[in-house]
Amino acid sequence: MIFVTSCSTQKRSVSTNSSKPIHNGSYPAENKSSKNSSTTNSSFSLKEFQNKYDLLLGNKSSGITNLELFRFIDDWLQVPYKYAGKSKTGVDCSGLAALLIKQVYEKTISGSSASIYNQTDPVTKANLKEGDLIFFKINSSNISHMGIYLVNNKFLHASTHGGVVVSD
């Protein structure tokens, strides 16, 4: 079961019926302007960087506009999973989301995936946007995992088996 939510101070009820609205964490698509530039933290040119992520995300032409988000992803991909981790030596799903939201969107979230879910507002799956939080119930009746929506049904998360990855 997947839920998508918006960070807000008010809680709304959510249907677990997949045809109903699901939780979606909406953050502004624009990134911090002070960090915009034509190069990335890596040795890639802007075009090479865009091509790399267009390929990974299945974009036909560069839809990469939030460079701060993709710099973060580039920097954290393949960091190993560590329960309750919040560093490059190991990170879990809620730690990764909190770090990304703080660095890219200058917002603060904290707690487990279930507690973050309870701090957010629902939106419909059709309204998913880059940077939205998505939540999962895996082998449980409770929220037990979360990630950050990118594009084309792909999301960033910290997987127990693969560390920080982009998945479908």
* Nearest-angstrom CA–CA distance, 153 and 168: 6
Cα 81 from Cα 71, distance rounded (Å): 19
Beta-carbon contacts of 140 under 8 Å, excluding residues fewer than 6 positions away, are: none
Find, among 2, 55, 9, the residue nearest to 24 by Cα: 2
Active-site residues: which are they?
93, 145, 157
Tell me the HSE value of 74 on the side-chain side, using a 13 A CA sphere. Answer: 21
